[in-house]
A and B are shown apart, each in its own frame.
Chain A
Amino acid sequence: MNLTLHVWRQKGPNDPGRFETYPATGISEHMSFLEMLDTVNEKLEAEGKEPIVFEHDCREGICGCCGFMIDGKAHGGQHKTTVCQLHMRSFKDGDELTLEPWRAQAFPVIKDLMVDRSAFDRIIQSGGYVSVRSGSPQDANAILIGKEVADRAFDAAACIGCGACVASCPNAAAMLFTGAKITHLGVLPQGAPERFRRVQAMTTQMDMEGFGYCTNHGECSAYCPKGISLDVIARMNQDLLLAQVVTRDEVRREGGE
């Protein structure tokens, strides 16, 4: 199959960038979207042109590196699918596709379709962990956790931090990401002691990074390749509200304030 690609090309963070059009010819429907781009890049290189830069690593939908907008849809919009797992059989011969990087002030473009998601790392650093003394591990069954709670934590923990939530949100908010971490850790007994300090620290960092805010459109969750539920945002709001009324010591402890 043959397609036409309108690709965002940007040399670096300070280059204004522009769209350029490339043909993608002789594409097999069994290729993944990234393999299709590899094919296009091979041709570009043979012609002595700069290949299109996009981020990728595992190519099996688990690392969260890949991701860009295809025709205005994060990861191409297929249900619970990263762009590396999206296959060309989802497209038709003759399709014209527009490829754009995630667009958010907090995600500066490094080059072409690749953005810098360090803002997510800084949100994690601010509180996305549990403080435990290391030592010999205790018996896995020593802490009893209900199945429903474990499921809820696991569903939230499925977040791979790809940034599709920010990209598809009309407000460029990072609340699905932040809410997923807060839910994942906060519902488990190991994470509960730092629950209020964590929500305070992580949401403050999220604001400092310049992300938008949630107006409950629900696009983040709809485009999330891991199907993280919008409920994690409500849980984060709930935790932050509770953090305002619990004893201040609980929030302040360990440098939260």
Chain B
Amino acid sequence: MSWFMRFARSTIGMKVAMAISGLLLFGFVIGHMLGNLQVYIGPSALNHYGAALQGNQGLLWVVRLGLLAILFTHVGSSVALVLRAKAARPQGYRKWQGKVSTYASRTMRVSGPILLLFIIFHLLHLTVGTVHPDLQHCATQATGDLQCFVYQNVDAAFSLDTAGTTMAVQLGIVAFYLVAMLLLGMHLGHGAYSMFRTLGLNSPRYDKVARAFATAVAVLIVVGNCSIPLAVATGLVGAAGGH
């Protein structure tokens, strides 16, 4: 195994770990968004989807722990690499001018930690419920069926006139979600493009295609994910169709 450890500890090995874990997380983000977009179909679709996920607790925890391990790999290797880059240039320039690097590429180390904070907040908000005004957990009905309240929870989470909280707090939460999703879009836009190159999958023939693909998916994710809190906050989705 010595060859493997040698590879895993090399800078390229760590970058490959970043790229593969990033790819898996990218897939999760897409799946998560597609699931959430069922909010537009209606309460029963979203609640059934929630019940289906919660129905198999064993599988749910396997996936959760798997995601945690992937996230740990992604964050762990990025920390190791950032420390390495800092050590590689102990004394910085008084002046430095970029020519082709993008705002997204230069802010990966800022968008990353903010997204980590967002993930923690998001879990406390819509999974655990600590920072949610009125989170209803799934409950087993008399019939034995599992009833979930994802739709009602999302409604209460983002609507501006929810009992038990103030409009200012709700506006703040919606704003945080929107900012986080914009950062996610930038992070994924550069990350997906960078992933192709790190894995050596690029070729001059389709470099432009890879960049366009990464940008297009990132834009779709931003639009799709931002639409939900916006639709609830503006009342397009929610109370009328729910409860």
Contact = CB atoms under 8 A, between A and B. Distances in A.
Interface of A: 19, 69, 71-73, 77, 98, 100, 103-106, 168, 170-173, 203-204, 206-207, 210-219, 221-223, 229-231, 233-241, 244, 248, 251, 257
Interface string B150-179: 000000000000000000000000000000
A244 B4 CA distance: 8
Contacts of A207: 10-11
B106 interface: yes
Interface stretch (B28-36, B197-205, B219-227): B197-205
Interface in B173-219: 190, 193-194, 196-204, 207
A226 to B, nearest CB: 15
A171 B95 CA distance: 15
Interface of B: 3-4, 6-7, 10-16, 81, 84-85, 87-102, 105-106, 108, 190, 193-194, 196-204, 207
Contacts of A236: 12, 200
A251 B203 CA distance: 25
A173 B81 CA distance: 11
A100 B94 contact: yes
A73 B197 contact: no
Contacts of B198: 214, 216, 234, 237
A221 B207 CA distance: 15
Nearest to B89: A172
A230 B100 CA distance: 12
A213 B81 contact: yes
A71 B97 contact: yes
The 7 closest A-B pairs by CB, nearest first: A238-B200, A72-B95, A217-B101, A212-B88, A213-B11, A172-B88, A171-B85
B197 A105 contact: no
A235 B200 contact: yes
Given A73-B99, A100-B94, A218-B101, 4 more contacts: A172-B85, A204-B10, A213-B81, A217-B106
Contacts of B99: 73, 77, 168, 219, 222-223
A93 to B, nearest CB: 21
A168 to B, nearest CB: 8
Contacts of B193: 216
A164 to B, nearest CB: 11
B15 A210 contact: no
B32 to A, nearest CB: 26
A19 B94 CA distance: 10
Given A231-B202, A237-B12, A105 B88 contact: yes
Contact of A170 (B81, B106, B201): B106
Contacts of B105: 215-218
A245 B9 CA distance: 17
Nearest to A174: B88
17 contacts: A69-B95, A72-B93, A72-B94, A104-B88, A104-B89, A105-B87, A106-B88, A204-B10, A206-B11, A211-B88, A213-B85, A222-B99, A231-B202, A238-B201, A239-B200, A251-B3, A257-B3
Given A215-B108, A219-B98, A244-B3, A230 B197 contact: yes
A213 B98 contact: no
Nearest to A211: B88
